[in-house]
Structure 1
Amino acid sequence: MYTVMSLCHFCEHHGPSIMFSCEKVLPTETTNGNVERPDTTSNPDDEGKSSSPQTSNKIKESSIKKTDLCQACRSLPEDKEAFVSNDKETGSTYLSTQHPHNSEMFKRVRQACVRSLSGEVCPGRQGPILFGDEQHGYVISYTFYINDNLARGQKRMYSIICMMADRVFLIQSWTFLVGCIERVIEYMQNCADYVYKTESKEQPQLPARVHARMTNAITPRNFRQLRGDTSNSRALIQLTGNAELYQYLHTAFTWIMRHCRTRIQEHIIFAPPIDDDIVRAEILARSKRSNSVISNEDVALAVANEELRTKSLSEASDNEVPYNCFRSLRHMRDILQPPLFKAVAWHLLIGNQVIWRGHDQNMVSSALQVLKTIIPVGCVKMVTDSNVYVNSYESNLLGLRETVALPSHVKSSDQYILVDIVRKASASQRLSQLSLSASPPTAFGGIEFRMTSGCIIPEKMPVMLHKLEVALANDSLSAEVVKHCLICLKQEWMNKTKVLFKFVKIDNRDKEDTNKLLQVCLSCTEEDTRLLKFWMTGLSFQFKEKLRQSARAEKSMLKTS
């Protein structure tokens, strides 16, 4: 990506012209593969000259002959072809010449020069302006005037342009570039003002002579003579009284281009941890110490442990996972069939107890492990293998042995769902089938799942469950995409849960305001509301404590005011 900075001048005789250009050039490779760069350290007397024959030839070929330039258009003297600076840190070379050494680049800079001094107009005739396109590059042009007693109106028009191919980067660098260019212009104008005032005091008749010559009548006889008169053309180093002006411009342009790149560095910004990670870290912290204060290290450790623990089911090969285990939500939906899976997921999302009972504890445990990914970590209370019934406030995901019976108060309740794993064939028949088969047994062969529940499943499900069903039913989505889709859904509804918690528990709003919040702001149905109320129990201690502290701080401020 190229960058060129140029000083341009509107000559009274030649129009817009490029006076001085600085660009970053790439090192050329020789035939033996070595990198060749302009060398400026061999002879102190030749400092600033390019010793590369290829670079010098390009400069001479692409540049306009200096004999065709007047004093006002000329910058470098005959014995000084270029200024070169080598950046040892980055290996870059910055080259300053009268015109860009590349012919294509010269055309672009030439066009930008013409537009900056004639076509593009900024408010007040002095100041920065942005123009350009993808084909010719994007330009920041800063137009300004230099005082001159011999010029028309006693001012000469100049501009400093900065051309880049990256429009976004140029716009982001606007403040930096314009600020640096303004300092360069201020230095040049201060030098020129001193010379202008000195000449005005020593020779006050100069402006009058120029005005008389400019107001002479132009006839066909003296037209050519007046047109070719360049007696009032003066070099910029004369106007500023600084013989080393172009060394200064080369240093300034090089510094600007170099720091324009290095000042912006790419940083990877990580998003804050999701709620599940925070809750895992709190659980880990409580297991190590009595308080619930967590650190970033606790969050990172909890995330790493969870990723390592859940990777086996979703990413392991068929040989690593037992044939009678659920591997993912999509796999469970295919085995249970959509109606049964939807019923189990609905009970789990709204906070009812989900019970799996069967002879195969691997199957029961894998089912509970897969189902727990639907709800937040803070809402999970799981017992995978129990010989007795456990109440719902202690375990909302419960795995029971085949012989365990449910208590009567649970059977009469409508806040549970029981999935029984039933064997169709006898044990002896199943073993004989396994021994006769050379290949691994068919997954879940000879097994059926029977659902028992005390309530009727509503036709209208929570929005989250509907979106999850759509993702699982779409076979074009990979397992990884479905995984991230579930994470996004959980985070979306956890955010709504946080709003409801703040509204109800912290602000203590009444029922009417709460219903308006749920229906109008959060667009929640009755089933969605049941989900949110259950998920409020899974919010992190850290989030709740921050809200309470914020509420206390607001109350104290109101009292003091």
Structure 2
Amino acid sequence: MQAVMALCHFCENHGPRIVMTCQPVRDVEEKESSPNPSTSLDPSTSDSPPGPIVPLIKFDGECEFHHRKQTKSEDGTSYPHYGNCTKFTIDLDDRCSACSSFRNGPCLLSNDHQTRTSYISSEVALQERVYERVKIACLRSLSCERSGDLEENGGTNSSKTPSKAPSKSSSKKPATPRKWRPEVIHEEPINAITGTRIPPSATVLQEPKEDGAKKALIKEKEEADGCVIFGDVDNGYCFAFVFRVIDAKARGFHRLFSLVVVTNDLTFLTNNFEYFKTTLGGIKTDLQTLAQEVYSKEILLIPKLTDEDIHKPEYQNMVGKSGTPNTKMAIQTDRSLTAVTATEEIWVRLHRHMMWTLRSPTLAFRDRVMEGKPTQDMMVLLELDQSQIVELELHHPNQHSVSMAQLANLKIIASQLNASNEPEDLDILIHTLVTGGQVAVESREKECCRQFLLAISNLLPIGCIKLATYKDQYLPEYSSRFNLIGGPHNMDIPLDVSDVIVVRVMPRDLSIVDSDKMSLENCVIEVRRRPENDGSGGGLPQIVKRYRDLLLDADVRDTLLESVLRTTREGWMHKAKICYQMKHHLPASEIFKHITGVGYDDRQVVMYWTAGLSDAYKQHVIASLQHTRHMSIPQTSTTSSR
């Protein structure tokens, strides 16, 4: 969720002001899989006009660097970050030490490499739109009514309502309203003998106690704390926690602050209401604790007022107890939060608090796609060498585009073979491929062979692919070593290699041959040699018919075609797994009776696809069989001894 957090203060000199803003900046560009963030503050992820660069202080983990390095980049910093850190906001408001934090100096930076997000704390937000919304939230949070504490009103409401209904005798003489008032500023005591009230002049004047004044001050401060949610569609929504920080040199001995979380999503605030109330309340308590310690020390060093300095009213008992101690105090309205809390690293602490407050809901509400058990293709991919992965183009920086290009070429191959003079060539090609035969491609251009073989490899599980994109000469051992092989034009393949289909690919224009952008659409594809057992004498396997229908369907393409092909492969790989387990228990003639959906024509496909199972799965099956046999041996011997 996109949200901004800020600390606001009602300055006695300038009114409501934003003191500190923590803003997440995310990487919106699709980058490579490498987790290296950019090391420049250029607006590479934004189309906004260039603006002044914000100098940064890196604060990553427990490391703090308050001095910038000597070797700087062109923009003045060498700290890695995500997103755009260019500042477009111009703050023209007057400020003093009480309502400022970083001013124009360096701000704080923390990087979250897991979500590719940088958290930047500065005096105001970097973008003008965000700054305006936080400014409105600051003004409203420091001036609006907040939610009250139920415990404060509980005693008042109960005292206003009598516990019992009035009796008949009391109804004759109605009680005065004054009798039921819960709090009276002053009430003259009643003389026990005469029953009349003692005049104020006879009352003894007493000074308020210092302890009572301090407790009243703390109670007043606690009762002023509270949270509220407000906002609208135009100005965004805000969760505000308003509180007061005690200060011996402030008017009224306290300063008004608010912590605000501003976002466009009202649901985000309501769903996390208790979370923000707890976390922002913890930050508030931390600041108040630090300020209370400073206040307790400063109040002892200030001389107290004498009786001559205090102007006592004639009727002092009619005046409520003062909530402030009687001391000689010099008011300092421009006192910064650093001085109020006596903590030099107060901005670093607040940055850490704000960063984790914004980061935790993002991690908690992050969508996670659970893929379940790994497929056989995933397990085989972990077992392949890096060279094989590169040759099969299974780990490309732009893998999606590569896969879509291969599927487009696969559709072109199917379309051309189906439109040729021998339409059954498409069925022969697919049948040879899925039953373990060899597909050889001839071309004058190596790239044509490579694109053709990579395209048809999408019809096989990864474990069944034995690929050689180009060989200058066909050797006898290649017939059993590779099932996909490319070679030069008129490649000499021995006649004793019976189970092979030879396809020739000829580009119409050699100038368009490009390793990155080449398409088989500008090539002529024809079958030059067919295998002896092409499957034409009997029925075709179900998967051959399935593949043919998918490749010739004009509506099934791109991502949909990729998903359907993957689902089809996984379905037949499940049958291959059952076949591999059954062949260790049953004779070959009984295996396919226990596998549903496998006909007579499908048996060769399933038997060949068992070779595409991962080594880890095969070892697991063998280990399970050995364990079962080992457990059955003691049981058999015990039974025979009995």
Give the TM-score category using the shorter length: 0.3 to 0.5
Q: Which has the higher helix share?
A: 1
What is the TM-score with the length of structure 2 in the denominator?
0.41
